């Protein structure tokens, strides 16, 4: 299925906290995408996320974008995530991507309380690390 480019917009989801007398808590889709992007550091075999040409240009200008290569859409209490990644050479793609999907679902669910219904992973490249 995946997320269509025209579906990408900054959306804030109000988190239901019961009887919160201090106000409301809202989380943006960019925050969810950043959480998912940071999760790749915890999965062996995933080298990096891969952003669009716009993300690459912005990155060269020194602007940090933690969600580079990751898009999240929040609908009701459900989240759909698309990830573009580089794999490290020598790792099983299916096992690594499955581990990444499980880790993203677990982390986003735990940190936000939202229900991740879909994590689509696209392999953009394979990185061969040179001996140092």
Task: Tell me the pLDDT of the chain (132 aa) as tens digits.
Answer: 555 544 445 666 666 656 666 777 788 899 999 999 999 999 999 999 887 444 444 445 454 455 678 999 999 889 999 999 999 999 999 999 999 999 999 999 999 999 999 999 999 999 997 754
Nearest to 8 by CA among 72, 54, 57, 67: 72
- What are the C-alpha distances in Å from 48 to residues 7, 86, 117? 24, 5, 23
Report in angstroms the alpha-carbon separations of 119 from 89, 116, 131. 22, 7, 33
91 alpha-carbon distance from chain centroid: 20
Q: What is the pTM of this model?
A: 0.76
CA distance 71 to 120: 10
């Amino acid at each position: 299925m995946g997320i269509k480019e025209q579906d990408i917009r900054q959306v804030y989801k109000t988190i239901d906290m019961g009887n919160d007398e201090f106000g409301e808590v809202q989380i943006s889709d960019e925050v969810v995408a950043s959480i998912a992007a940071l999760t790749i550091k915890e999965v062996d075999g995933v080298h990096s996320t891969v952003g669009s040409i716009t993300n690459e240009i912005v990155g060269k200008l020194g602007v940090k974008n933690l969600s580079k290569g990751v898009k999240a859409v929040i609908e009701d209490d459900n989240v759909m995530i698309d990830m573009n990644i580089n794999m490290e050479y020598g790792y099983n793609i299916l096992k690594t991507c499955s581990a990444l999907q499980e880790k993203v679902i677990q982390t986003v669910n735990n940190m936000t309380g939202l229900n991740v219904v879909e994590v689509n992973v696209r392999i953009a490249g394979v990185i061969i690390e040179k001996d140092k």
